[in-house]
Amino acid sequence: MIGKTVFETRYGFARNKVLLGNWRESPFSRWSFQNVGELVPSAPVAAAAGASEAPAQDMTGLLGEKVALAGGPESVAAFLKRSDTDGLTIMKGGKIVGDWLAPHMDFGARHIIFSISKSLTAIVAGILEGEGIFDPDAPVTQYIPEAAGSAYGDASVRHVLDMSVSLDFEEAYLEPESAFARYRRATLWNPGGGTESLREFILTLQRLAEPHGQTFRYRSPNSDLLGMLLERASGQRFTELLREKLWQPLGAASEASVTVDMQGTARTAGGISVTPRDLARVGEMMRQGGTVNGRRVVPEAWVRDTVETGGSSEAWQRGTMAFLFPQGRYRNKWCQTGAQSGAFCGIGIHGQWLYVNPKAEIVIAKMSSQPLPADDPLDLDMVTFFEALGRMV
Residues with a catalytic annotation lie at 115
149 C-beta neighbours (distance < 10 Å), count = 10
318 C-beta neighbours (distance < 10 Å), count = 15
Closest by CA position to 42, among listed 33, 51, 30: 33
Burial class of residue 244 (count of CB atoms within 10 Å of its CB; 0-12, 13-18, 19+) = middle
Burial class of residue 34 (count of CB atoms within 10 Å of its CB; 0-12, 13-18, 19+) = buried
The gap from C-alpha 121 to its chain's centroid, in whole angstroms, comes to 9
d(CA 144, CA 229): 7
Residue 355 phi, psi dihedral angles, 5° rounding: -110, 130
d(CA 196, CA 189): 13
Residues 6+ apart with CB under 8 A from 37: 257, 259, 273
Greatest CA separation found in the chain?
66
At residue 205, what is the residue type? L
241 C-beta neighbours (distance < 10 Å), count = 26
Closest by CA position to 323, among listed 383, 388, 369: 383
Q: Are strands 344-348 and 334-336 parallel, antiparallel or unpaired?
A: antiparallel
Contact (Cβ atoms closer than 8 angstroms) between residue 353 and residue 342: no
Give ∠ CA 310-312-318 in degrees, rounded to 5: 155
